[in-house]
Amino acid sequence: MAFRNLARNLFQFAKITNINQRLYSTIQRKPFRISEIAQRHVPIRTFSAVQTNDNAYRDLETFLQKEVQLEKSAQKHPTQLPTISNFQVQTSGPEVTLTREIGTGKVTVKFNVTNTVNATDTEQEADLNATGQEKPADDSPTHLKSRPTFTVDLNRGGQTLSFLCSYLPNSKKFANQLVDFSTAYEHRQYIGLLEKLHQFAKQ
């Protein structure tokens, strides 16, 4: 009895599978016929659409070329990045690593300049620059600043103490130097991105 039921189930499964195959074949044939009809009725505006795309690429190329020139003219440090006292600097794309040896210990600072421009409002920016001296004339409220969060690792005796840091008003010299470096480096990375987009649009 068990064998008979198994054979029946297999037979029913075979019938269902055969029906599904026929149905699938029917469905498969329909798109083929539709595609044949579609091929006979080619849109007349195809060529003009291609021309529009070419014009769009040319417009994009022109825009990017002007944008690169504008950003380069606005660079404060076109040839050499600002220094950070007593730290060695290593960069890899948007990643920046600062290292410093202190006695038997080592200090490592890491940050990423991606999406860090204007991370704080103008009031905090004014506080960061409040040192009792006049504010530089070119440091207007619309002046862009890169203030990334950064990690500080203190390694000594095989143990590491890590901190996640951000900016507060009246920051110290190191934080201000890091802001200057990050701003210049982020700007350089942005110009590099624009140049790559420009080369892509020219192809």
Residue 21 has pLDDT above 50, yes or no: no
198 plus 103 within the same structural domain: yes
Residue 80 lies in a domain: no
Quick check: is 81 in a domain? no
63 with 114, same domain: the answer is no
Q: Are residues 108 and 59 in the same domain?
A: no
- Number of domains composing the chain: 2
Based on the domain organization, do 24 and 93 belong to the same domain?
Answer: no
Cα–chain center distance at 132: 38
- Residue 171 falls inside a structural domain: yes
23 and 120 housed in the same domain: no
Residues 94 and 145 in one domain: yes
- What is the chain's mean pLDDT, rounded? 74
Average pLDDT of the residues in 112-118: 91
Distance of CA 179 to the CA centre of its chain: 20
Identify the residue whose tokens are 């920016």: 125
Tell me what the mean pLDDT of segment 44-63 comes to.
Answer: 66
Q: Where are the beta strands (DSSP E) in 23-149?
A: 88-92, 95-102, 105-112
Domain that holds residue 64: 2-29+47-73
> What pLDDT band is residue 12 in, cutting at 50, 70 and 90?
very low
Same domain flag for 64 and 121: no
Q: Do residue 62 and residue 123 come from a single domain?
A: no
Instruction: Give the pLDDT score at 53.
Output: 65
Contact 148, 155 (CB under 8 A): no
Residues 119-175 pLDDT 10s = 555 444 555 555 444 444 444 445 789 999 999 999 998 999 999 998 776 668 888
Q: Minimal CA–CA distance to 75: which of 176, 186, 173, 196? A: 186
> Which is more confident, 137 or 57?
57
In the predicted model, what is the mean pLDDT of residues 195-201?
89
- Per the CB < 8 A criterion, the answer to whether 195 and 187 are in contact is no
Q: What is the CATH number of the domain that holds 120?
A: 3.10.280.10
pLDDT tier at 203 (50, 70, 90 boundaries)? Answer: confident
- In eight-state DSSP terms, residue 137 is T
**CA distances, 188 to each of 79, 118, 126 (Å):** 10, 16, 24
What angle do the packed helices 173-202 and 46-73 form, to 10 degrees?
A: 150
Q: What distance in Å separates the CA atoms of residue 89 and residue 188, rounded to the nearest whole number?
A: 15
Residue 60 lies in a domain: yes
Q: Amino acid identity of 80?
A: Q
Q: Are residues 22 and 69 in the same domain?
A: yes
Reduced to 3 states (helix: H, G, I; strand: E, B; else coil), residue 159 is strand
Domain shared by 53 and 153, yes or no: no
Average pLDDT of 170-191?
Answer: 89
pTM of the complete model beyond 0.75: no
Are 103 and 58 in a shared domain?
no
Answer whether residue 39 is part of any domain.
no
Residue given tokens 């700007």 in the structure block: 187
Beta 150-156 vs 105-112: how paired, if at all?
A: antiparallel
pLDDT band at residue 118, thresholds of 50, 70 and 90? confident
- pLDDT: is 16 or 100 the higher one? 100
Determine contact, residues 127/175, Cβ cutoff 8 Å.
no
